[in-house]
Amino acid sequence: MEKIRTLFEQQVSMSDHDWESFSSKLVKATYTSKGKILNLGEVENYLSFIVSGIIRYYVPGEEQDLTFGFSFENEFASAYDSFLTRNPSSYVLEALGSVQLWRISYEDLQTVYQESTVGNIIGRNAAEGLFLKKSKRELSLLKDSAEERYLKIFSERPEVIREIPLKYIASYIGITPQALSRIRKRIS
């Protein structure tokens, strides 16, 4: 759990009291492979911190699912839009392999926001960080080709290529598994 505090401290210094207010509300959770951390249509009630494992985000479809994101060890994970708006989620959070996490409920987080300014700063930093991530992705989807996006993932997160099935990566970069299989062949 100290890991989480260290991450926060990179952004803003917290008193022990502030940390106590926050960390006392964290609850541990574990999922096995393919376990649903959040189902379609449910309202996201948690902001989670991944201790170990990978989480896949996808929109289920009749034909096939649309995988649009992943979260990894030492990152936060949440259907954050549903969490914020309190509307049902339009996508699913699923464990890829076994996943362990610490999480805080929506209600408890609101309490933290009220109890301390630091809470709000952390909340603001979280939202800002998520915004930055999405901004990068937007530009990549607009200006990079599928092949360039694949190579980027490959260089930034080599472990991803090993642990995540090809068809999910294909969906993430916006092409079919067949097309990715051919790109992979071409560049290897």
Residues that bind its own copies (CB under 8 A): 59, 66, 68, 80-81, 84-85, 113, 117, 120-121, 123-124, 127-128, 130-132, 134-135, 137-139, 141-143, 171, 174
Residues in region 139-168 near DNA by CB under 7 A: 145-147, 165-167
The DSSP call for residue 152 is H
Nearest-approach distance from CB 29 to its own copies, in angstroms = 24
Residue 182 near DNA by CB under 7 A: yes
In Å, how far are 62, 80, 90, 186 from 38, measured between CA atoms? 19, 11, 10, 37
Residue 29 near DNA by CB under 7 A: no
Residue 35 near DNA by CB under 7 A: no
Nearest-approach distance from CB 130 to its own copies, in angstroms = 5
Closest to DNA by CB, 98 vs 110, is: 98
The DSSP call for residue 17 is H
Give me 7's structure tokens.
């991450």
* Residue whose tokens read 């190579």: 151
Q: Integer distance in angstroms from the first to the last C-alpha of the chain?
A: 41
Nearest-approach distance from CB 181 to DNA, in angstroms = 3
| Contacted entry of DNA, its own copies, none for residue 154, CB cut-off 5 to 8 Å set by kind | none
State the Cα–Cα distance between residues 180 and 169, nearest whole angstrom: 8
Number of residues that bind DNA (CB under 7 A): 18
State the Cα–Cα distance between residues 80 and 10, nearest whole angstrom: 22
Piece in contact with DNA (CB under 7 A), picked from 24-32, 76-84, 152-160, 176-184: 176-184
Nearest-approach distance from CB 148 to DNA, in angstroms = 8
DSSP states of 82-130: HHHH-PPPSSEEEEEEEEEEEEEEHHHHHHHHHH-HHHHHHHHHHHHHH
Contact positions toward DNA, by CB under 7 A? 145-147, 165-167, 174-185
